[in-house]
Structure 1
Amino acid sequence: MNLNELRDRAYKTACNHGFHDEELSNEHCLCLVISELMEAVEADRKGRLGKKCKSRFEMDYNRYPALVEEEKRFKCSFEKNVKDTLPDELADAAIRLLDLCGLRKIDIEDFTEEMLYEAEESCNDETFTESVYAISTIPIRYEYEYDYPLGGQLNSMLLAIFGLAKHLDIDLIWHINQKMRYNELRENKHGKKY
């Protein structure tokens, strides 16, 4: 997986949709990442785990290939089967991190299998909410405890999200790619203030 290519795509989409029309602080952007993580918690609380959303999406998407415009088929299938599920919200958090890396011109390191394994293993003794809390507090903890620069903080958050997704048996790259495609079809700032 080339996360720097995903970073560039996320940043370009955010720019094209007005998210970077004004200068925003790192804290503002990180708060939006955390808000996506909290939406993942809400999806978990509501039982929207998305265990079969990928296969259901593909089944719906391929059902009427000749009868419905491709873009409309994609949006309808995505909204019906994937949107607002736990994997979708984790993808949103990752996309916001990728976008912030693009904005600040931060390279994302290649996550080795060993790194992903360790990130996944760190979730074994935690509940889902404890894992999300740990990810949410990485910027403050890593800045003050380890003196990590922003790039190290963002890479650590991304790695932790990928580890959590692996722990939950979520194909996060698939979800990121689908959500980016969906976001590319949306209105300016996705109809929100920021």
Structure 2
Amino acid sequence: MNNINLNELRDRAYKTACKHGFHDEELSNKHYLCIVIYELMEAVEADRKKRFAKVPVDKKGTIFDERTFHYQNKYFAENFEAYIKDRVEDELADAAIRLLDLCGLRKIDIEDFTEEMLYEAEESCEDETFTESIYAISTIPIRYAYEYDYPLEKQLNGMLLAIFGLANHLDIDLTWHINQKMRYNELRENKNGKKY
């Protein structure tokens, strides 16, 4: 997470969502959080099917290097769909992007996650199955609102931190996957071809 500006990613996610019609009408926070949870459930489904992209840390010389996974590569979308789309990593990136977008919509700053915060978030996954970790992330808004009376800002920051912690636990470079998915989303049709 060094040198990663989550607020820049927030602005990019929000701009893309606006451009693609996701904010043409005013919708509730519950609506947007449900979509985040839906993406997390898609990650569970991908895990159940053992669908992982397994992108190596050192991408040089692999199908995942910058020559192949560059938005100006005319085969970028095709490569993304063949090697990453609908995998666990992709679905976690989708959930994070939806949270970043909601932060942009509601003008919420995302706190800088310290190494200690990320370590604690990763450690919280140690004794949990993948589905238990996803459940814990999915219930953050309710727990934070009703148990601690935390505002939406804390709820969204908590969910993002937990997703990054789970990704670290799984050795997933979530920032790389978020960037790839954002590139892919920028190429897609209005509302990604969906109703909302």
**TM-score, scaled to structure 1:** 0.93
Counterpart CA distance in 1 for 2:56 and 2:31 is 31
Counterpart CA distance in 1 for 2:63 and 2:42 is 21
Counterpart CA distance in 2 for 1:193 and 1:53 is 35
Q: Larger % of helix: which?
A: 1
Please tell me the root mean square deviation across aligned C-alpha atoms, in Å.
1.9
Q: 1:108 to 1:59 in 2, by over 3 A?
A: closer
- The alpha carbon displacement at 1:73 in A equals 1.3
The reply to whether residue 2 of structure 1 matches residue 5 of structure 2 is: yes
Q: 1:52 to 1:4 in 2, by over 3 A?
A: closer
Letter in 1 for 2:174: L
- The equivalent residue for 1:184 is 186
- Counterpart pick for 1:58 among 64, 67, 71: 64
- The alpha carbon displacement at 1:76 in A equals 1.1
Name stretches of at least 5 consecutive residues in structure 1 with no aligned partner: none
- The equivalent residue for 2:96 is 94
Name stretches of at least 5 consecutive residues in structure 2 with no aligned partner: none
CA contact (8 A) 1:17 1:187 kept: yes
Spell out structure 1 runs of 4+ moving beyond 6 A.
none
Counterpart CA distance in 1 for 2:182 and 2:73 is 13
Q: 1:182 to 1:108 in 2, by over 3 A?
A: same
- The equivalent residue for 1:114 is 116
CA contact (8 A) 1:61 1:74 kept: no
Letter in 1 for 2:171: D
Counterpart CA distance in 2 for 1:26 and 1:92 is 17
CA contact (8 A) 2:118 2:165 kept: yes
Q: 1:53 to 1:83 in 2, by over 3 A?
A: farther
Q: 1:73 to 1:27 in 2, by over 3 A?
A: same
**Mean Cα displacement is larger for which, 82-91 or 50-59?**
50-59
**TM-score, scaled to structure 2:** 0.92
Q: Once the two structures are superposed, what CA deviation does each residue of 1:114-162 show, in whole Å capped at 9, x if it has no partner?
A: 0000000000010000000000000001100011000000000000000
Counterpart CA distance in 2 for 1:60 and 1:119 is 29
